[in-house]
Amino acid sequence: MSESTSTTVQPLSESDQRLWATLIHVGGIFFHFLPALIGYLVLKDRGAFIRQQSRTALNFQLTVLAGYLVGIFTSWFFVGLFVLMAVGALNIVFSIIAAVAANKGENYEYPLAIRFIR
């Protein structure tokens, strides 16, 4: 009497994919790369749209992390403080734009993002 367990995951509906993509983009404002990383690892097999959007958000948040690190390391120069402020502002603005686009079901690519994950 052995039961076969299914390891296939159920795809998310289109509206659920849009919802999760929106939350991942907005989550980047408050929790940086963690929502995108968790979303990518957990939801990437649940639909093409959520896979693309979580990967895009993760790439951008990793780029933001790199920007913060550059700002921190150059903060002993006066310019590092401006780098930190600029990166923070760009993170907020582009994450909101991405969240609005994801909520509409549109694919969004962040400008200035380095593609760490393809």
Low-confidence ranges of the chain (pLDDT < 50): none
Q: What is the C-alpha to C-alpha distance for residues 20 and 24, in angstroms, rounded to an integer?
A: 6
Q: What is the C-alpha to C-alpha distance for residues 29 and 23, in angstroms, rounded to an integer?
A: 10
The distance between the two most distant Cα atoms of the chain, rounded to a whole number of Å, is 70
CB 102 within 8 A of CB 22: yes
61-98 burial string, b = 16+ CB within 10 Å, else e?
Answer: bbbbeebbeebeeeeeeeeeeebbeebeebbeebbeeb
pLDDT value for 42: 97
Whether pTM exceeds 0.85: yes
pLDDT value for 9: 84
pLDDT value for 76: 85
Q: For residue range 19-52, what is the model confidence (pLDDT) as tens digits?
A: 999 999 999 999 999 999 999 999 999 999 999 9
